Amino acid sequence: MLVLLGILVVVAGFALRLNPMLVVTVAGLVTGFLGGMSPVEVLDAFGTGFAGSRSVSIFLLVLPVIGLVERNGLQEQARRLVSRMSRLTTGGILAGYFVLRQVTAAIGLMSIGGHAQTVRPLVAPMAEAAAVRRFGTLPDAVSQRIRAFAASTDNVGAFFGEDIFVAVGAVLLITSFVDTTYGYTLEPLQVALWAIPTAVVALLIHGARSLHTDRALTKAIAEFQPTEVAR
């Protein structure tokens, strides 16, 4: 039971808003020492864990590139592109991105989409530009709503699309858990096939919500206009 004190260290560290890397490291040391591990064994566990999940740190290389591209006008170019396409609407852009995100996630291309590399620099600015072309200058609350919906579109598309790919970590985790806990051999292909109906339902529901965004924005803008006139 003493090894669980490492969790308490994590909770306390985050509550005090300490450096997350320092908190996790200290928690790992506490857990290892209380579990009877030697300093060498603790160090070996840290090294093994890092080597097994080193791909997680790839975002450290991606974020500076995205920041540099944004600084040189990527968002402005995205807005300019949308402003030239009169038929594109906010709902249409979000629905199109949702389909793209879910399809690419279903074939294992998770890194194509994402909040940092796609939603912030491209999808959200394009969706806002379509709304600005239609309604004019947007209230801040409406802009934030569009950005939030763009982020949720990415989340839903990735969440329900990735389980269709048999080699994704979530599918492998499900099959290994069922195998070790219940002694039932569950093939990844079975999980992937049963994920297809769920993904289709998610596509219909969230796709309809995306297309309904234009109507919701019209209502939101109408609610703000009387307030602005009164001011």
State the pLDDT at residue 230. 43
pLDDT for the residue 229: 39
Looking up tokens 């629905």 gives 95
pLDDT on residue 99: 94
Q: What is the pLDDT along the chain (231 residues), one digit of tens a residue?
A: 666 777 888 888 888 888 887 888 888 888 888 888 888 888 888 777 666 555 555 556 666 766 776 677 766 777 777 767 777 889 999 999 999 999 999 988 888 888 888 898 889 988 998 898 888 888 999 999 999 999 999 999 999 998 888 877 778 778 887 787 777 888 888 888 889 999 999 999 998 998 899 898 988 888 876 544 344
Q: What is the 3-state secondary structure (H, E, C) of the chain?
A: CHHHHHHHHHHHHHHCCCCHHHHHHHHHHHHHHHCCCCHHHHHHHHHHHHHHCHHHHHHHHHHHHHHHHHHCCHHHHHHHHHHCCCCCCHHHHHHHHHHHHHHHHHCCCHHHCCHHHHHHHHHHHHHHHHHHHHHCCCCHHHHHHHHHHHHHHHHHHHHHHHCCCCCCHHHHHHHHHHHHHHCCCCCHHHHHHHHHHHHHHHHHHHHHHHHCHHHHHHHHHHHHHHHHHHC
Whole-structure pTM value: 0.66
Q: Are 208 and 215 in contact (CB under 8 A)?
A: no
